Chain A
Amino acid sequence: MRTLGPGSVSSLLKTVLDVVYFGLLVVAGALGLAALAALLFRFDPTMVKGIAIDGAGGQVLTRPEVLGGLFVAIGLYVAGVLIILNRLRKVFVTLTAGDPFHPDNVARLRLVGALLAGLEIMRYLVWAGSLALVPGIDRTGPSISLSGWFSILVVFVLAEVFREGARLRREAELTI
């Protein structure tokens, strides 16, 4: 089974990434509309009271600043995932074209690594923020994900491998 080039595994993965990316774009659009609606509703106290959330933190979650923060956090998370998917799509375009060591792939993979790290850190920050804002929240917070951080490091190492590959490709191109 071929892994690179047209009609290969890379091509299949590129299609999967396309579907997930555009699906998430639609979800993000809906989320944006929901956030906009929430911003409009915050000026109407009766609507805010109408948002019923069970649990001890329910009252806190109806506060506009908490709701706003929640939407910002979710928005940032979705934006991060969208950018990661977008960069991966571009990487897979080069893999499908049979040109894995395209120089641009280095920056793309570095960005993916940085965003994955950022999203992981944001997960901890959101958890810490929720502890401060929502007293009754379940305190079994996020554990440090070793496999997550391992994956992030692998992405950074892969970026360096691609950088070396791009350098060798350039050398080969200029060897006559």
Chain B
Amino acid sequence: MAIRVDLDKRLYDRRMSLTELADRVGVTIANLSILKTGKARAIRFSTLEALCRELDCQPGELLVFVPGPLNEDVD
């Protein structure tokens, strides 16, 4: 995945667990894990907005571009 969602550092800075973030943002832990592990295909603005609100950051601080192969098409 060329775009990575950098949650770990933000969570560490805020001393927040993944479970707590999931509760606050209103998504499941499974979906947050998909975001964290780079398996997500897309992120909704509403999710991004909630993440930025709860982690007190800007979208650009959460999304990191990592050079590499693009996700292969899902069938």
Residues in chain A within 8 A of chain B (CB atoms): 103, 163, 166-167, 170-171, 174-176
Contacts and interface: CB of A to CB of B under 8 A. Distances in A.
Contact of B42 (A103, A163, A166, A174): A174
A173 B42 CA distance: 10
A171 B35 CA distance: 13
Interface in B14-41: 27, 31-32, 34-35, 39-41
Nearest to A166: B75
B9 interface: no
B41 A175 contact: yes
A176 B44 contact: yes
B74 interface: yes
Most buried by A among B35, B42, B44, B74: B74
Most buried by B among A103, A163, A175, A176: A176
B43 A176 contact: yes
A171 B34 CA distance: 13
B44 A174 contact: no
Contacts of B31: 176
Interface SS majority for chain B:
loop
B27 A176 contact: yes
B74 A175 contact: no
A174 to B, nearest CB: 4
23 contacts: A103-B75, A167-B73, A167-B74, A167-B75, A170-B41, A170-B75, A171-B41, A171-B42, A171-B74, A174-B34, A174-B39, A174-B40, A174-B41, A174-B42, A174-B74, A175-B42, A175-B43, A175-B44, A176-B31, A176-B32, A176-B34, A176-B35, A176-B44
Given A171-B74, A175-B43, A176-B32, 8 more contacts: A103-B75, A167-B75, A170-B75, A171-B41, A174-B42, A174-B74, A176-B40, A176-B42
Contacts of A163: 75
